[in-house]
């Protein structure tokens, strides 16, 4: 009887812990930068803000099937450089300025980005906006699914917007590293490549289109981008995220943590998580695995 009672108490405790972890507001999770996120509740209370620009970072078909009221749509190609030497590089200042203006973004816009749920593509756009000096951008936790699950209205007709006056105030080139820089630091213990891809990609058993070779950057550390998320696609607490990365040697005392994936989308998500909890040494390896794999002169590891 005592054993059964103990098991019941333990189960209840675990359930309460999970519920607490999932439901904590961003401001209560110990983040250094809780302002990087916005909840469905916060956004729903702010929909009348005339400076608000909501960007749906899903493909056109999904957008037309249903989107947040007042949102405009941008997809990966809208903020990538079509002329880059590898796919997926961040759009040039001129390209991104034209796209943002066409979507009605102004210099004083308060931007919210969202996607299906996990924030994967939305975090990439979040990064590009901030890379080009626009810091007033937040990611909607839980994305479109969280919005509809909460019973909020959706729209299906695309929104028509006036041309915005968005201009790039600065280019934060020190937020990005390139392939040559990574190659020059292979033997530098204070420069670590964080590989955020799947385990199969990291082990050299799989890859995505655009990469001529499979494997990983020698000495890189693997922490898949999904590991800092809860099951409901909210971010784990700051303490949990710091512990996760510290267990893999990804610590704040390193000179550089270069976040990598296939084309820097997952890498941007991990960048967001680490910077949000206070890391100041994270950069995005924008050329990522397609950049490394397509350089035949560079070494790789497998298995």
Write the pLDDT tens digit of every residue in 244-281: 999 999 999 999 999 999 999 999 999 999 999 999 99
Is the fold of 27-149 the same as that of 173-293? yes
- CATH fold for domain 27-149: Oxidized Rhodanese; domain 1 (3.40.250)
Length of the chain: 303
Looking up tokens 């756009």 gives 125
Mark the ranges of the chain whose per-residue pLDDT is less than 50: 1-22
Spans of all domains in the chain? 27-149, 173-293
> Can you give the pTM of this predicted structure?
0.91
Q: What is residue 117's predicted lDDT score, i.e. its pLDDT?
A: 83
The overall average pLDDT reported for the chain is: 93
Per-residue pLDDT reduced to its tens digit, 36-55: 999 999 999 999 999 999 99
| Angle separating helix axes 265-276 and 238-247, nearest 10 degrees | 120
H/E segment holding residue 10: helix 2-23
Q: Token pair of 81, please? A: 């450089």
Q: What is residue 17's predicted lDDT score, i.e. its pLDDT?
A: 41
Q: What is residue 20's predicted lDDT score, i.e. its pLDDT?
A: 40
Q: Which residues contact 74 (CB under 8 A, 6 or more apart)?
A: 55, 56, 57, 99, 103, 125
Q: Which residues contact 157 (CB under 8 A, 6 or more apart)?
A: none
Among 60, 67, 95, 64, CA closest to 81:
95
Q: What is residue 23's predicted lDDT score, i.e. its pLDDT?
A: 54
Q: Does domain 173-293 have CATH number 3.40.250.10?
A: yes
The C-alpha angle with vertex 32 and arms to 31 and 33, in degrees rounded to 5, equals 85
């Amino acid at each position: 009887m005592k054993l059964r009672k103990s098991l019941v108490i333990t189960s209840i405790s675990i359930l309460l812990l999970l519920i607490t972890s999932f439901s904590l507001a961003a401001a209560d999770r110990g983040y250094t930068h809780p302002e990087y996120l916005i909840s469905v509740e916060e956004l729903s209370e702010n929909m009348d803000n005339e400076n608000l620009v909501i960007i749906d970072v899903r493909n056109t078909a999904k957008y037309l099937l249903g989107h947040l009221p007042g949102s405009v749509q941008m997809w990966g190609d809208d903020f990538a450089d079509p002329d880059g030497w590898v796919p997926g590089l961040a759009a040039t200042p001129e390209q991104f300025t034209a796209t943002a203006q066409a979507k009605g973004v102004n210099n004083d816009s308060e931007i919210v980005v969202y996607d299906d749920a996990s924030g994967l593509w939305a975090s990439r756009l979040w990064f590009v906006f901030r890379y080009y000096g626009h810091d007033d951008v937040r990611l909607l936790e839980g994305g479109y699914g969280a919005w509809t699950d909460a019973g909020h209205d959706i729209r299906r007709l695309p929104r028509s917007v006036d041309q915005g006056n968005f201009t790039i105030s600065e280019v934060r080139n020190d937020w990005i590293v390139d392939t040559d820089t990574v190659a020059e630091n292979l033997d530098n213990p204070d420069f670590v490549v964080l590989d955020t891809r799947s385990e199969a990609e990291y082990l050299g058993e799989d890859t995505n289109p655009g990469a001529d070779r499979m494997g990983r950057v020698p000495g890189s550390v693997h922490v898949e981008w999904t590991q800092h998320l809860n099951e409901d696609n909210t971010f784990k607490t700051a303490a949990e995220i710091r512990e996760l990365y510290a267990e893999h040697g990804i610590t704040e005392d390193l000179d550089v943590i270069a976040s990598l994936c296939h084309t820097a989308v997952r890498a941007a998500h991990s960048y967001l998580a680490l910077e949000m909890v206070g890391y100041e040494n994270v950069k995005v390896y924008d050329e990522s695995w397609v950049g490394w794999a397509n350089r035949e002169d560079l070494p790789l590891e497998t298995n």
